[in-house]
């Protein structure tokens, strides 16, 4: 009995530690008073102010477009890459998978600076395109990692069975292999979208004048002093990412169950 | 005899330098139920996959109705396959699984409905159209796989250990059903298994393979009663295999004695292998037996007792419904027709022991 109480207190402290800053942030986004540490009553005006700020609207637009495009492109590339890797010999598979893990483990700052160096060295002007390319780049490994398990689960004769029944290799891919691994593909796409919305460091180094995403806007606003509208914007971003994460987790927990 | 539908000529396939299939020659007749039988790694599945078009032979030819089909991709062969663990499309329901081949051929909707209905009736799954394949039992999935293949009306059906995943009772039932189906639809079945009992029960012709080489081709009765070599005798059923010498036609010497037999056509004093099946040996009183021995072990196997009797340094396995006590002294007897004489071959099999 005592053990259980201690356990509960312990887990309570952990959650408090993890979520207290976020909680404070959310509460202050509804604070009427401009000063921190003083509660001036409930308001939604900071949210309203956000949507009247053209810079923020533009950043919201870029964030969404980059997340959408980069998740789509990286899902297509990553899915076909995963199918290729799945069909490789044991040795080649190991090498490619380790190469695939490297960008995942690489610190964002290194990836960001490296990409910037690359773009500058080939004389590309930093802007929307370079930001999109860098997002596609860091998303691909995650897509591969979420598609591969589905391929492994698939009966290894599945594609052969389609060929056996008269399907050309292309038809078998379209009608059998892709639908069979679709849950992994969708999870990969959602993950890519989330990571893209989430990214600050890599975007910061690889974007140019006029093109900013939400995290960059928050960063530059914060340098000029914390305004309550930052809290509101951060709350919105937090909720978006949280919802996406919930969806991903629910899909992964469902495991083998398939989308209808 | 019906005509040959498939011929394999000098077919060879290697993986990383080891020959999985080593220069095999075989023909398969129309409407035949033929089984490729052998231990795992004997090349039976590789042979099947080459017929299906999933592996390319290194050398040799595959003929389908007299035409070479080596370079024909699987989707252009009039052959369908039941894969190990069925490989059903799990994102489709039963109807869509069976319709897969028909849709590719652009079959009209009403004809497709009619043929799928007929198939579901054949495999006794009427009313299962909308069911999700994951919700079916192993036996039911097996039936869907059969329907999915047969609805295309192939001339040849390949079956790669189709019953391996089922429990014993269901396996026995499906064996009978598959045999009935093959007779009803009148197509050639090429069946792969490592289960000798299954092969003997179901087939018109059994092809015993080992190390990529065909050891013997024949009817189940021939294979069982007249094994061509030590490997076949050992692999098919239980056997007592003794070394002996063929003195002359109808007379063989083994276990230090001369016995009458029904075999002939060997050279004088040719070394041979002698097979006596455990169920062909009768246990008698010591003084009545052709050989004398001591019972060293008795195991109850359900239908019969499996006894080991040591005689003159050789342990004979005997299947009998009469039990003898361990340690009792008994006589062993068998008739001339129970003795099967085989040519002694110095082969890979013997080298492996």
- Residue A193 has a CB neighbour count (10 Å cut-off) of 25
Cβ contact, residue pair B75, A164, below 8 Å? yes
pLDDT at A123: 92
Least CB–CB distance from B83: residue in A157, A256, A258: A157
Cβ contact, residue pair A155, B87, below 8 Å? yes
Which residues of chain B have a CB within 8 Å of the CB of A168? 75
Burial of B316 (0-12, 13-18, 19+ CB in 10 A): buried
Cβ contact, residue pair B91, A258, below 8 Å? yes
Instruction: For residue A260, tell me if it sits in a domain.
Output: no
pLDDT at B167: 86
A100 shares its domain with A185: yes
Confidence of residue A254 (pLDDT cuts 50, 70, 90): low
A71 shares its domain with A178: yes
Cβ contact, residue pair A157, B148, below 8 Å? no
A72 shares its domain with A4: no
Contact A207, A127 (CB under 8 A): yes
Q: Which of B49, B104, B149, B158 to mutate: most A Cβ within 10 Å?
A: B104
Least CB–CB distance from B75: residue in A158, A168, A180: A168
Tokens, residue B92: 């489709």
A130 shares its domain with A168: yes
CATH 3.40.140.10 fits B4-225, yes or no: no
Instruction: For residue A203, tell me if it sits in a domain.
Output: yes
pLDDT at A49: 86
A2 shares its domain with A93: no
Which residues of chain B have a CB within 8 Å of the CB of A181? none
Question: What is the ipTM metric for this complex?
Answer: 0.81
pLDDT tens-digit map of A65-120: 999 999 999 999 999 999 999 988 889 899 999 998 888 899 999 999 999 999 99
Cα–Cα distances (Å) from B328 to B65, B280, B312, in that order, read 61, 20, 15
Least CB–CB distance from B74: residue in A163, A180, A256: A163
Cβ contact, residue pair A164, B149, below 8 Å? yes
In A, minimum Cα distance to B148 occurs at A165
CATH number of the domain within which A76 lies: 1.10.3720.10
Q: How far is CA B310 from the centre of its chain?
A: 31
Burial of A152 (0-12, 13-18, 19+ CB in 10 A): exposed
Largest interatomic CA distance in chain B: 78
pLDDT at A1: 67
Helix (H, G, I), strand (E, B) or coil at B45: helix
A84-101 CB burial, b ≥16 within 10 A, e <16 = ebbeeeeeeeeeeeeebe
Number of domains chain A is built from: 2
Give every CB contact of residue B308 below 8 A, 6+ residues apart in sequence. Answer: B295, B296, B297, B315, B316, B317, B318
B106 touching A (Cβ < 8 Å)? no
Cβ contact, residue pair A166, B105, below 8 Å? yes
B262 touching A (Cβ < 8 Å)? no
pLDDT at A253: 66
If DSSP states are collapsed to H, E and C, what string results for B200-233?
HHHCCEEEEEECCEEEEEECHHHHHHCCCCHHHH
pLDDT at A241: 86
Instruction: For residue A259, tell me if it sits in a domain.
Output: no
pLDDT at B349: 46
Which residues of chain B have a CB within 8 Å of the CB of A165? 75, 80, 100-101, 104, 148-149, 152
Does the pLDDT of residue A37 top 80, yes or no?
no
A124 shares its domain with A249: yes
> CA of B236, closest CA in chain A: separation in Å?
30
CA separation for the pair A76, A54 (Å, rounded): 33
Cβ contact, residue pair B89, A160, below 8 Å? no
A27 shares its domain with A58: no
Q: Which residues on adjacent β-strands are paired with residue B11?
A: B24
Cβ contact, residue pair A165, B80, below 8 Å? yes
Least CB–CB distance from B152: residue in A158, A165, A258: A165
Cβ contact, residue pair B87, A161, below 8 Å? yes
Instruction: For residue A94, tell me if it sits in a domain.
Output: yes
For residues A246, A249, A255 and A256, what is the CA-based torsion angle, rounded to 10 degrees? 50
| Structural domain containing residue A1 | 1-31+38-43
Phi (first) and psi of residue A211, to 5 degrees: -105, 110
Give every CB contact of residue A170 below 8 A, 6+ residues apart in sequence. Answer: none
Cβ contact, residue pair A163, B75, below 8 Å? yes
Interface of B with A in 175-204 (CB under 8 A): none
Burial of A117 (0-12, 13-18, 19+ CB in 10 A): exposed
pLDDT 10s digit of each residue in chain B, 353 long?
A: 678 999 999 999 999 888 999 999 999 999 999 999 999 989 999 999 999 999 999 999 999 999 999 999 999 999 999 998 889 999 999 999 999 999 999 999 999 999 999 999 988 899 999 999 989 998 899 999 999 999 999 999 999 999 888 888 888 888 998 898 898 888 999 999 999 999 999 999 999 999 999 999 999 999 998 898 889 998 988 889 999 999 989 999 998 889 999 988 888 889 999 999 999 999 998 888 899 999 999 999 888 999 999 988 899 999 998 888 898 899 999 999 999 998 887 654 444 43
Best CA proximity match to A155, nearest among B89, B133, B74: B89
Contact A115, A134 (CB under 8 A): yes
pLDDT at A257: 42
pLDDT at B306: 92
Total beta-carbon pairs less than 8 A apart between chain A and chain B? 66
- Residue B195 has a CB neighbour count (10 Å cut-off) of 16
Interface of B with A in 6-25 (CB under 8 A): none
Which residues of chain A have a CB within 8 Å of the CB of B91? 179-180, 182, 258
> CA of A227, closest CA in chain B: separation in Å?
51
Least CB–CB distance from B90: residue in A160, A164, A180: A180
Contact B93, B131 (CB under 8 A): yes
Query: HSE of A70 in the Cβ direction (CA atoms, 13 Å)?
Result: 31
Cβ contact, residue pair A165, B104, below 8 Å? yes
* Domain boundaries, given as residue ranges, for chain B: 4-225, 238-277+334-353, 282-333
Phi (first) and psi of residue B6, to 5 degrees: -130, 135
Best CA proximity match to A210, nearest among A115, A128, A117, A124: A128
Q: Going by DSSP bridges, is the β-strand pair B18-29/B79-82 parallel, antiparallel, or unpaired?
A: unpaired
Burial of A41 (0-12, 13-18, 19+ CB in 10 A): exposed
A126 shares its domain with A85: yes
CA separation for the pair B340, A106 (Å, rounded): 72
pLDDT tens-digit map of A189-218: 999 999 999 899 999 999 987 888 988 988
CA separation for the pair A176, B97 (Å, rounded): 10
For chain B, the distance separating the N- and C-terminal CA atoms, rounded to the nearest angstrom, is 39
Cβ contact, residue pair A256, B134, below 8 Å? yes
Which residues of chain A have a CB within 8 Å of the CB of B148? 165
A122 shares its domain with A75: yes
CATH 3.50.50.60 fits B282-333, yes or no: no
Q: How far is CA A53 from the centre of its chain?
A: 25
């Amino acid at each position: 009995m005592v053990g259980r109480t201690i356990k509960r207190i312990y887990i309570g402290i952990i959650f408090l530690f993890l979520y207290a800053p976020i909680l404070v942030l959310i509460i202050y986004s509804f604070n009427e008073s401009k000063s921190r540490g003083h509660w001036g009553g409930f308001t939604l005006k900071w949210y309203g102010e956000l949507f009247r700020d053209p810079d923020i609207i533009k950043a919201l637009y870029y964030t969404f477009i980059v997340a959408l495009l980069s998740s789509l492109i990286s899902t297509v590339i990553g899915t076909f890459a995963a199918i290729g890797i799945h069909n490789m010999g044991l040795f080649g598979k190991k090498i490619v998978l380790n190469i695939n893990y490297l960008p995942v483990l690489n610190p964002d700052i290194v990836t960001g600076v490296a990409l910037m160096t690359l773009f500058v060295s080939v004389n590309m002007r930093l802007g929307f395109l370079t930001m999109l390319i860098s997002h596609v780049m860091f998303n691909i490994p995650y897509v591969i990692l979420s598609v591969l398990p589905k391929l492994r689960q698939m009966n290894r004769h599945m594609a052969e069975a389609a060929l056996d029944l008269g399907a050309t290799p292309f038809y078998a891919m379209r009608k059998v292999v892709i639908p069979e691994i679709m849950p992994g593909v969708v999870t990969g796409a959602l993950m890519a979208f989330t990571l893209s919305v989430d990214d600050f460091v890599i975007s910061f180094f690889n974007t140019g004048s006029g093109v900013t995403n939400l995290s960059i806007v928050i960063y530059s606003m914060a340098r000029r002093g914390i305004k309550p509208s930052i809290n509101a914007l951060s709350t919105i971003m937090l909720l978006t990412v949280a919802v996406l994460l919930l969806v991903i987790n629910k899909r992964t927990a469902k495991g083998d169950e398939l989308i209808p | 005899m019906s005509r040959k539908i498939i011929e394999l000529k000098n077919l060879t396939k290697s993986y990383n330098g080891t020959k999985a299939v080593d220069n095999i020659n075989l023909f398969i007749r129309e409407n035949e139920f033929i089984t490729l039988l052998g231990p795992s790694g004997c090349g039976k599945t590789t042979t099947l996959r080459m017929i299906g078009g999933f592996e390319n032979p290194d050398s040799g030819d595959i003929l389908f109705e007299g035409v070479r089909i080596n370079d024909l991709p699987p989707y252009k062969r009039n052959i369908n396959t039941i894969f190990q663990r069925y490989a059903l499309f799990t994102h489709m329901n039963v109807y869509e699984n069976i319709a897969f081949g028909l849709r590719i051929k652009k079959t009209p909707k009403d004809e497709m409905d009619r043929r799928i209905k007929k198939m579901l009736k054949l495999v006794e799954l009427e009313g299962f159209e909308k069911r999700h394949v994951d919700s079916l039992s192993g036996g039911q999935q097996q039936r869907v796989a059969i329907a999915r293949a047969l609805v295309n009306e192939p001339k040849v059906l390949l079956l790669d250990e189709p019953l391996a995943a089922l429990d014993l009772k269901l396996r026995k039932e499906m064996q009978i059903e598959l045999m009935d189906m093959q007779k009803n639809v009148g197509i050639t079945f090429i069946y792969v298994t490592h289960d000798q009992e299954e092969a003997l029960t179901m087939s018109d012709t059994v092809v015993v393979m080992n190390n990529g080489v065909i050891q013997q081709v024949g009817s189940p009765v021939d294979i069982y009663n007249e094994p061509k070599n030590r490997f076949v005798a050992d692999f098919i059923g239980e056997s007592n295999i003794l070394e002996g010498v063929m003195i002359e036609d109808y007379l063989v010497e083994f276990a230090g004695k001369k016995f009458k037999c029904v075999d002939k056509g060997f050279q004088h004093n040719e070394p041979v292998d002698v097979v006596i099946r455990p169920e062909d040996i009768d246990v008698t009183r010591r003084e009545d037996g052709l050989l004398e021995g001591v019972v060293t072990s008795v195991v109850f196997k359900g239908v019969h007792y499996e006894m080991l009797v040591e005689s003159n340094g050789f342990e004979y396995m005997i299947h009998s419904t009469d039990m003898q006590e361990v340690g009792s002294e008994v006589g062993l007897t068998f008739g001339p027709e129970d003795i099967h004489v085989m040519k002694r071959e110095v082969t890979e099999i013997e080298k492996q022991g």
